[in-house]
Amino acid sequence: MSDFEQKKYGFSFELDDFQKEAAEHINMDKSVVVCAPTGAGKTVIAEHAIIRAIEQNKRIFYTTPLKALSNQKFNDFSAKYGEERTGLLTGDTSINRDGQIIVMTTEVFRNMLYGTNLGRVEENLKNVKYVILDEVHYMNDEQRGTVWEESIIYCPNNIQIIALSATISNAGELTNWINNVHDHTELVNSDFRPVPLRHFYFAQSMEHKIVPLFSGGKTLNNSIKPERRPFHPQRSREPEKTHVKLVKILFEKDMLPAIYFTFSRKKCNKYLEDCSKLKLLNQFEERRLSQIIDEYILDNPYLAKNKQLEYLYSGVATHHAGLLPGWKGLIERLFQQGLIKVVFATETLAAGINMPARTTIISSISKRSDEGHRVLTPSEFLQMSGRAGRRGMDEVGYVVTIGDSFHRPEEIAELASSEANPLESRFTPGYSMVLNLLQRFSIGDARELILKSFGYHTATERLKPLYTEQEKIRQIIEQIENFECPYKLTNQDVLEYSKHKNLYIQHAKVAKTLKKQAREAGIANTPEVAEYTEKAKELYDKVFKSKCEMCKKYRKHIKDLDILPRFLKKHRKITEGIEYEKDIYWRQFLNLMKVAEITGHLEDNYPTKKGLMTASARTENEIFFIELIQRGLLNDLAPSELAAVLCAVVTEEVRTETYQKFRISRKVRKTLHESNDLMRWLMRIQQEQNVYTPILLNADYSALIENWVLGEEWDSLIEGLETNEGGIVRIFKRTMDLLRQITNIKEVPAELVKSAGMAIDCINRDPISDVF
């Protein structure tokens, strides 16, 4: 790209080579996959496409995985390209939806492609030239990965896809797949980081210093020794905490601001408290921080009583899913301005939000998961470490990994130098997908679309162990069947010889036994003796005339032929297993179809009236949700009662605390009881059809939302609760999303729509309402 073009497109800096390459592909009307490290400047490529769309008078969609990231991009693009050009579409927000640059969550884009309650597909995509899929590596997400695959599969070929991804090891495979299911797609793969990373090591046993993790290349620094298990019997003074000691070191070395990644909210809060006694801000920063906090709280007065407010004045904060969205917005603003020096965060901060730091600290290379403790994957480590180094501000980004007695330093070095993990398909058909596809396509066409999934495309890699075993057995079978007989006999000849020899031995034995019995009885040879003797002689002639009798290779040959049926059977089973696994998505689709037919949502391979409602729904189990509406279980509920019931339908989290300040009303209890009967009915049908789509009905938070809708104040609502405020907000917002769907889905009774709208209005107040 020439200097003229750079100036023309508004870039005030020299573009990197990978940015130029991607821009050229876009200029040539090609789709492109851009795979580069966090912070490398992938957004510049998106902005190049935006400028082209503006010049061509075309529209461009920018999709993100998170509402918070969508809000951030909307604000950035509004400021840069004008509010009149920029729009925002998320599950609960619609601003200037006909604008030229529309920022949206990936789910909204997928829903547009289905043409559900968002309007006809042709209208939704009118004049759209480009779609930017930001953070496309979210395809790895177990819950939501399907959305990215659907978006790529159903995206019309005349729209250029610009897929931006963090580093993955199989970027070529992803590009080939998009090239196959969409249109001409090029890969731009770069490991370039504008701000290089330098890795350090720290542990409790070390004095007040950090040491380089590597001594050259990817070789572990030999001065680093394994940590011993701590043993401090009756110590008079508690040693200085590792996190406090490390923050002090980084402050003295001018390596702040830092993101300190730990894997529990409890630890985040504990570390915050411990480090709040450190003086990390100068007087000017203290005054500026106070000013911003005062202005922010003036706009968000409910934050004035936040328990962590006092710690902000020390220049430290936490960032995790348990915090209020508005509070996290304040933390992000302060951190971006350099007024928060250390943020103690869970790994969720590594995904998407623009909060780069000079240093990232990784507190451990293992974390607790559903299966117990496990070591971080290379991609997880890369995502966190990639937050270090601010372009234009830092020459180097620092990554400090803390060692412990549970992991050898060699493990840390290996993880820090590992390549990223490959992108894996999480494609999972659901009821909504089934009904939407059958609404628009024949069952044959639907199958073709399902077989376009990335999971089917990568089946060869996924089934590699089975293919390897299949090939190994095939070679053994081929070797046996192609055995080279020195006398040019066939396998059938050898088997015949073996059969005759076995029969000869049997007949000879029987003849001998019969002769002995006749002799003992004083009888001459009986007809039976004569018969078996004659038959044995006949078989003897056949056996001893055969070349096999004198062949040295016979023993091995016949042994191989004896075991051949076992190998043939094993090969058949493996082949069947491969075909079974390759067709797993289509079988899931057919099983879901069967449930939809039994429950009356599908007839003659086309959605029924309530099936069309189900196609418009987006929740854990769409059939369960629509059955609640269709059977009238939600009718005649007050807004607070409706919210309480739907809250149970979206809640996965189980409260461990026994404290119950509020209780659900009698009407809600009755409706939940009836809903439970419906759930059992649907679960039985699902089990019979091998469908395992979860059905949620957990009333742990229903009493809270019922009282919130009735006007209870937030402080009173959460008083005495151990549950994090952010967790409650998240559940309330999921409930609002389901209520909005009731207002948008056709054929819902008017009174229910009205009640849902009133419930939304009552829920959507501070601190639940979105903060822009």
| pLDDT category of residue 423 using cuts at 50, 70 and 90 | confident
Query: What are φ and ψ of residue 243, in 5° steps?
Result: -65, -35
In the block, tokens 């990335």 appear at 454
Q: Give the number of other Cβ atoms within 10 Å of residue 228's Cβ.
A: 9
| pLDDT category of residue 2 using cuts at 50, 70 and 90 | low
Residues in contact with 518: Cβ distance below 8 Å, sequence separation at least 6, in sequence order? 524, 525, 526, 529
Alpha-carbon distance 411 to 401, whole Å?
Answer: 11
Exposure string for 622-635, b = 16+ CB within 10 A, e = fewer: bbbbbbbbbeebbe
Alpha-carbon distance 745 to 626, whole Å?
Answer: 10
pLDDT digits (tens, 9 = 90+) for 658-685: 457 789 999 999 999 999 999 999 999 9
Cβ(144)–Cβ(178) below 8 Å: no
| pLDDT category of residue 138 using cuts at 50, 70 and 90 | confident
DSSP state of 99: S
* Residues forming a β-bridge with 399: 199, 360
Give the three-class secondary structure for 362.
strand
**What percent of the chain has a predicted confidence (pLDDT) above 90?**
51
Alpha-carbon distance 689 to 592, whole Å?
Answer: 8
DSSP state of 357: B
Average pLDDT of the segment spanning 369-389: 85
Q: What is the pLDDT of residue 749?
A: 95
The overall average pLDDT reported for the chain is 87
Residue 203 has pLDDT above 70, yes or no: yes
Alpha-carbon distance 663 to 661, whole Å?
Answer: 7
More confident residue, 488 or 453: 453
By mean pLDDT, which of 49-63, 117-131, 291-305 is the weakest?
117-131
By mean pLDDT, which of 133-142, 262-271, 485-494 is the weakest?
485-494
Query: What are φ and ψ of residue 257, in 5° steps?
Result: -75, 155
Residue 483 has pLDDT above 50, yes or no: yes
pLDDT digits (tens, 9 = 90+) for 629-648: 999 999 999 999 999 999 99
Q: Give the number of other Cβ atoms within 10 Å of residue 616's Cβ.
A: 22
Exposure string for 183-211, b = 16+ CB within 10 A, e = fewer: bebbbbbbeebbbebebbbbbbebeeebe
Query: What are φ and ψ of residue 521, in 5° steps?
Result: -90, -5
pLDDT digits (tens, 9 = 90+) for 432-461: 999 999 998 999 999 998 988 898 887 766
pLDDT digits (tens, 9 = 90+) for 6-52: 554 456 667 888 999 999 999 999 999 999 988 788 889 999 999 99
Q: Considering the entire predicted model, what is its pTM?
A: 0.81
Print the SS3 string covering 128-175: EEEEEECCHHHHHCCCCHHHHHHHHHHCCCCCEEEEEECCCCCHHHHH
| pLDDT category of residue 236 using cuts at 50, 70 and 90 | very low
Alpha-carbon distance 418 to 318, whole Å?
Answer: 29
CA angle 344, 397, 63 (to 5 degrees): 70
Q: What is the pLDDT of residue 12?
A: 67
Give the three-class secondary structure for 325.
helix
**Parallel, antiparallel or unpaired: strands 602-603 and 606-607:** antiparallel
Segment (H or E) for 564 = helix 554-582
* Residues forming a β-bridge with 344: 260, 318
Instruction: Look at residues 666, 585, 596 and name the one whose alpha carbon lies nearest to residue 624.
Output: 596
DSSP string, 395-426: S-EEEEEE-BTTB-HHHHHHHHTPPPPPP---
Q: What is the pLDDT of residue 772?
A: 44
Alpha-carbon distance 601 to 615, whole Å?
Answer: 9
Alpha-carbon distance 188 to 171, whole Å?
Answer: 9
Cβ(352)–Cβ(68) below 8 Å: yes
DSSP state of 343: E
In the block, tokens 């969205």 appear at 325
Instruction: Look at residues 262, 263, 272 and name the one whose alpha carbon lies nearest to residue 314.
Output: 272
Give the three-class secondary structure for 673.
helix
Instruction: Look at residues 141, 52, 717, 206 and name the one whose alpha carbon lies nearest to residue 425.
Output: 141
The structure tokens listed for 481 are 């069947």
More confident residue, 110 or 373: 110
pLDDT digits (tens, 9 = 90+) for 39-78: 788 889 999 999 999 999 999 999 998 887 888 899 999 9
Q: Tell me which amino acid residue 631 is.
A: R
In the block, tokens 């199958």 appear at 447
Rg of the chain, C-alpha, whole Å:
34
